[in-house]
């Protein structure tokens, strides 16, 4: 078990109707004026933004609004938010939405406390000690940003999408009402399930041996996501399955499922290049394509780990041949994503051989800028390996 540091300062307020407590809870924290940040349409259309603002009004917390966050959130709106936060003197940022809105809010919360351009943090990854406190009203279980220390932002002018980690940007408060997820389209529900499952895979497959306390938690979450997925897709307004999935999405990425391990994160890096190249690609759908390809490329570094995963998560019986068992586990993974309606090839994501050829070398350059010469942990990968994995994914 490797040394680790872990902090999770978020207060989670979970259940039906909890978003109406936001004003009262923010006032208790001493909030004076909040920037309420949200996405393109859903939270406005459902009346959620109005409900959140009414709760703030009732508690005497002033607020300004900034909507329009797109999926794969972009730095231009972040800069607008930073300027607004500074001009208005806000002391809290409230994200009403999913990973994209929360990540944009985290970037604003950092940028509001520094003098220069906030993108500099994404370039240098330097620690930033001063971050405005963040509250979240979650509307889609997927990225886990409501509990995580990361934000991922796109910079279209540079063709980049990259992350910035900082424990100080972990949300202070997260309101999680499963009923708010009833309106999610099946595709977004499925992409979210895929993303949370992949957050567990990234932590499970690395170069550290068994860490039972962490691994058993991780495997139990994998089994839960797998079991709840068909229930939630079959009955989008079934409260219990939605609730289990919502809480699981947080647990998959807040950090506990990887403590004591190195973790891998190569596949997320490969996917982020895809959604930087084509900003209409949904993160979870990109992962559904890239994860099985990565698995096929690297499993020979430790087939026994894959065989163990296949037994524990998919109930596969051991054949005595670890390599065959590993390959079966990879097949099951791909079949699971396909059963959710996710794409399984780059072609299905709209990237055929020709598009890939045209984009690949530029993607490998930005991948190197984001991750360095060698990346990953289960098996160290170079640009040549990344090229081969993208080709496997075609």
Residue of the chain from 81, 99, 343, 376 that contacts ligand NZQ (CB under 6 A): 99
User: 169-184 b/e with 16+ CB inside 10 Å = b?
Assistant: bbbbbbbbbbbbbebb
Residues counted in the chain = 394
Residue of the chain from 49, 52, 94, 180 that contacts ligand NZQ (CB under 6 A): 180
Pick the piece of the chain touching ligand NZQ (CB under 6 A) from 58-66, 180-188, 306-314, 378-386.
Answer: 180-188
Residue of the chain from 170, 253, 305, 371 that contacts ligand NZQ (CB under 6 A): 253
Residue with smaller CB distance to ligand NZQ, 286 or 310: 286
CB of 320 to ligand NZQ, least distance (A): 36
| Spatial separation of the C-alpha atoms in residues 6 and 124, rounded to whole Å | 22
Closest CA to 197 of 142, 247, 130, 236: 142
| Spatial separation of the C-alpha atoms in residues 352 and 199, rounded to whole Å | 27
Give the per-residue contact string, 187-226, with Zn ion (x = CB under 5 A; - = no).
--------x-------------------------------
Q: What would the DSSP string read from start to end of 4-55?
A: ------PEEEESTTGGGGHHHHHHHTT--EEEEEEESSHHHHTTHHHHHHHH
Which are the contacts of 204, defined by CB distance < 8 A and separation ≥ 6? 215, 218, 219, 222, 261, 305, 309
Q: For residue 131, which phi and psi values (nearest 5 degrees)?
A: -140, 135
Residue of the chain from 104, 110, 128, 150 that contacts ligand NZQ (CB under 6 A): 150
Which tokens in the block code for residue 51? Answer: 């409900």
Residue with smaller CB distance to ligand NZQ, 188 or 328: 188
Residue with smaller CB distance to ligand NZQ, 158 or 316: 158
Asked whether position 55 contacts ligand NZQ by CB under 6 A, the answer is: no
Number of residues lying near ligand NZQ (CB under 6 A): 34
- Which of ligand NZQ, Zn ion, none does residue 144 bind (CB under 5 to 8 Å by kind)? ligand NZQ
**CA 248, 16, 23, 189 torsion-angle sign:** positive
Q: Which residues bind ligand NZQ (CB under 6 A)?
A: 39-43, 71-72, 97-101, 103, 139-140, 142-145, 148, 150-152, 180-181, 183-184, 188, 192, 195, 253, 268, 283-284
């Amino acid at each position: 078990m490797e040394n680790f540091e872990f902090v999770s300062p978020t207060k989670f307020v979970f259940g039906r109707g909890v978003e109406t407590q936001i004003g009262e809870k923010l006032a208790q924290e001493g909030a004076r004026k909040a920037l309420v940040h949200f996405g393109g349409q859903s939270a406005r259309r459902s009346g959620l933004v109005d409900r959140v603002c009414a709760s703030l009004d009732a508690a005497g917390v002033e607020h300004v609004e900034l909507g329009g966050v797109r999926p794969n959130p972009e730095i231009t709106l972040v800069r607008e938010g930073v300027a607004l936060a500074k001009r208005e003197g806000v002391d809290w940022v409230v994200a009403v939405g999913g990973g994209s809105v929360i990540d944009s809010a985290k970037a604003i919360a950092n940028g509001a406390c520094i003098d220069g351009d906030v993108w500099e943090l994404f370039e240098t990854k330097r620690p930033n000690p001063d971050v405005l406190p963040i509250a979240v009203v979650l509307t889609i279980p997927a990225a886990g940003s409501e509990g995580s220390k990361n934000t991922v932002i796109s910079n279209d002018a540079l063709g980049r999408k990259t992350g910035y980690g900082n424990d100080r940007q972990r949300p202070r408060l997260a309101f999680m009402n499963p009923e708010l997820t009833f309106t999610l389209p099946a595709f977004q529900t499925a992409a979210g399930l895929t993303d949370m499952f992949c957050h567990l895979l990234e932590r499970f497959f690395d170069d550290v041996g068994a860490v039972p306390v962490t691994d058993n938690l991780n495997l139990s979450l994998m089994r839960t996501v797998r079991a709840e997925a068909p229930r939630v897709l079959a009955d989008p307004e079934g409260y219990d399955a939605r609730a289990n999935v919502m809480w699981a999405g947080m647990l998959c990425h807040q950090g506990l499922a990887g403590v004591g391990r190195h973790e891998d994160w190569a596949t997320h890096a490969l996917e982020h290049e895809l959604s930087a190249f084509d900003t209409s690609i949904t993160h979870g759908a990109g992962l559904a394509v890239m994860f099985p390809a990565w698995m096929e490329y690297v499993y020979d570094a430790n087939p026994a780990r894959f065989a163990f995963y296949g037994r524990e998560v998919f109930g596969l019986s051991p054949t005595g041949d670890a390599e065959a068992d590993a390959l079966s586990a990879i097949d099951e993974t791909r079949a699971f994503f396909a059963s959710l309606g996710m794409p399984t090839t780059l072609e299905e994501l709209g990237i055929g051989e020709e598009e890939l050829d045209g984009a690949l070398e530029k993607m490998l350059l930005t991948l190197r800028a984001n991750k360095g010469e060698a990346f990953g942990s289960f098996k160290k990968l170079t640009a040549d390996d990344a090229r081969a994995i993208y080709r496997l994914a075609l």
